[in-house]
Amino acid sequence: MPSGYIPIFIFLIIAILFPTVTIIAAKLIRPSAPSVTKLEAYECGIKAASDSRGRYTVRFYIIAILFVIFDVETIFLFPWAVKYRSLGWFGVAEVMVFLAILIVGYIWAYKKGALEWV
């Protein structure tokens, strides 16, 4: 029984060693000459106007999250489109329910004011 786990252990060892060896080799091979200019946020010669850790309004994050949610959910339409003919009317009904849920979510976000920029 333990002999069945040998390929898993070999794969685990390779999975751990490969990134470790690669990072160590890159650290040894790359040139390292830090200077004040290289350690600055920009290397274009222009001084930074302010700290890069400024605060953003929450609306940017809400828009980004909504975009990701709706984008990922619409990706689920691709397998349906591939199997459209074999699914028949049942597949059409499933997609209509799926799109109805997406539209309800979009309307809810719109009514909450999540898509307003002002």
CA–CA gap between residue 24 and residue 8 (Å, rounded): 24
Q: Taking the model in full, what pTM does it have?
A: 0.45
- pLDDT, one tens digit per residue, over 11-54 is 999 999 999 999 999 999 988 887 876 776 665 666 666 666 76
What residue type is assigned to position 101 of the chain?
I
- CATH at residue 38: 1.20.58
CA–CA gap between residue 90 and residue 81 (Å, rounded): 13
Which range marks the domain in which residue 29 is found? 2-111
* Count of domains for the chain: 1
Q: Is residue 118 part of a domain?
A: no
- pLDDT, one tens digit per residue, over 52-108 is 676 777 777 877 888 888 888 878 888 888 888 888 888 889 889 988 988 898 898
Q: Is residue 10 part of a domain?
A: yes
Q: Is residue 65 part of a domain?
A: yes
Q: Is residue 48 part of a domain?
A: yes
Q: Is residue 116 part of a domain?
A: no
